[in-house]
């Protein structure tokens, strides 16, 4: 039978075998929400990199460099890590080189899996539809924050688990069942529930309320972005 499990941080993903699995990378606040927004608005692709120097080296005329440290745009970068910056006007046709504190590391940690997909509330439905069709062994990789478990990612893992478990086509781990219960409990007041999330509170303290609203809004994208290796063996999300 199809299996469903959750990995709670990107550090934990380094320690487990992902061979043969489909892994959904989740960093709701805010890296994977940005990735889905950028691709939905016509970005040619996203190149996830670990550090600021590598991002600067990859910059050229058809590429933008984007990302954050401590949730703030990196000096000299074209964009920060707010999904609202990634409008069609700014990014259509461009490749985006991206480095963030947790989300891009989670993508790299997942790269040894058979298939790597990107999850955000914007594409929850299309992602769930794809996974229901595909089946197999699925792990929902929550990026976490600074190596620690983070409730924003767990909420999304719960929303996705709820759909997959409801189909009765998956055997869920105990953690996937817990996430599904959590989503069911929290879904009527998502922002109330997220007030308990440390990174949510941090972003709110920096004045990113519009990002918080955006990142927890369901729908808006039919995409199922996936990680590929291009001809130069460069990681690419398309
Ligand atoms: C991350 O990758 O840690 C985040 O997306 C941080 C943020 O910008 O909110």
3-state secondary structure 37-58: HHHHCCCCEEEECCCHHHHHHH
Closest to 145 (Cα-Cα) out of 65, 16, 28: 28
Q: What is the per-residue pLDDT for 233?
A: 84
Residue 55 near residue 68 (C-beta atoms within 8 A): no
Indicate which atom in ligand 1 lies nearest the CA of residue 80.
8
In this predicted structure, the answer to whether residue 172 has a pLDDT above a threshold of 90 is yes
Overall average pLDDT of the 59-68 stretch: 96
In this predicted structure, the answer to whether residue 110 has a pLDDT above a threshold of 90 is yes
- Cα separation, 170 vs 33, in Å, equals 26
Indicate which atom in ligand 1 lies nearest the CA of residue 104.
2
In this predicted structure, the answer to whether residue 230 has a pLDDT above a threshold of 90 is no
Return the percentage of the chain with pLDDT > 90, whole number. Answer: 97
Residue 40 near residue 62 (C-beta atoms within 8 A): no
| CB-count burial class (<10 Å; 0-12, 13-18, 19+) for 19 | exposed
Indicate which atom in ligand 1 lies nearest the CA of residue 71.
8
Distance from Cα 81 to the centre of ligand 1, integer Å = 7
Overall average pLDDT of the 55-79 stretch: 97
pLDDT tens per residue, range 208-220: 999 999 999 999 9
Is residue 100 very low, low, confident or very high in pLDDT (cuts 50, 70, 90)?
A: very high
| Binding pocket residue ranges, ligand 1, CB within 6 Å | 27, 29-31, 68, 71, 81, 100-103, 203
In this predicted structure, the answer to whether residue 231 has a pLDDT above a threshold of 90 is no
Residue to substitute in 13, 32, 99, 102 for testing ligand 1 pocket (most ligand atoms within 8 angstroms of CB): 102
Closest to 155 (Cα-Cα) out of 193, 123, 126, 106: 193
Strand segments, DSSP code E, in the chain are 2-7, 22-26, 45-48, 63-69, 72-73, 95-99, 115-119, 137-142, 170-172, 227-229, 235-237
Distance from Cα 157 to the centre of ligand 1, integer Å = 17
Cα 136-37-138 angle, rounded to 5 deg: 10
Distance from Cα 166 to the centre of ligand 1, integer Å = 30
Residue 25 near residue 106 (C-beta atoms within 8 A): yes
Chain centroid offset of residue 141 CA: 9
- Structure token pair of residue 156: 């999304």
Overall average pLDDT of the 86-109 stretch: 97
Q: What is the per-residue pLDDT for 238?
A: 96
In this predicted structure, the answer to whether residue 232 has a pLDDT above a threshold of 90 is no
Report the sign of the C-alpha dihedral through residues 33, 38, 41, 44, in that order. Answer: negative
pLDDT tens per residue, range 26-39: 999 999 999 999 99
Distance from Cα 116 to the centre of ligand 1, integer Å = 19
- Structure token pair of residue 59: 């910059």
Distance from Cα 29 to the centre of ligand 1, integer Å = 6
Which residue(s) pair with 72 in the sheet?
Answer: 69
The average confidence (pLDDT) of the chain is 97
In this predicted structure, the answer to whether residue 126 has a pLDDT above a threshold of 90 is yes
| CB-count burial class (<10 Å; 0-12, 13-18, 19+) for 220 | middle
Residue to substitute in 34, 79, 103, 203 for testing ligand 1 pocket (most ligand atoms within 8 angstroms of CB): 103
Distance from Cα 100 to the centre of ligand 1, integer Å = 6
Q: What is the per-residue pLDDT for 141?
A: 98
């Amino acid at each position: 039978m199809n299996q469903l499990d959750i990995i709670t941080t990107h550090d934990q993903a380094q320690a487990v075998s992902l061979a043969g699995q489909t892994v959904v990378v989740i960093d709701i606040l805010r890296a994977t929400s940005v990735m889905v927004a950028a691709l939905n608005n016509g970005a040619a692709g996203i190149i996830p990199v670990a550090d600021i120097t590598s991002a600067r080296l990859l910059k050229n005329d058809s590429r933008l460099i984007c990302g954050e440290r401590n949730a703030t745009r990196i000096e000299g970068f074209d964009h920060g890590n707010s999904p609202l910056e990634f409008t069609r006007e700014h990014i259509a046709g461009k490749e985006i080189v991206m480095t963030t504190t947790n989300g891009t590391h989670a993508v790299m940690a997942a790269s040894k899996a058979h298939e790597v997909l990107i999850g955000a509330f914007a594409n929850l439905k299309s992602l769930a539809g794809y996974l229901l069709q595909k089946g197999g062994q699925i792990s929902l990789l929550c990026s976490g924050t600074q190596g620690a478990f983070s409730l924003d990612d767990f909420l999304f893992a719960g929303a996705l688990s709820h759909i997959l478990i409801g189909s009765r086509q998956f055997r869920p781990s105990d953690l996937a069942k817990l996430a599904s219960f959590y989503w069911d409990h929290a879904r009527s007041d998502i922002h109330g529930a997220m007030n308990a999330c440390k990174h949510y509170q941090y972003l709110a303290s920096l004045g990113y309320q519009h990002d918080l609203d955006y990142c927890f809004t369901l729908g808006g994208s039919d995409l199922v972005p996936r990680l590929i290796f291009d001809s130069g063996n460069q990681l690419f999300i398309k």
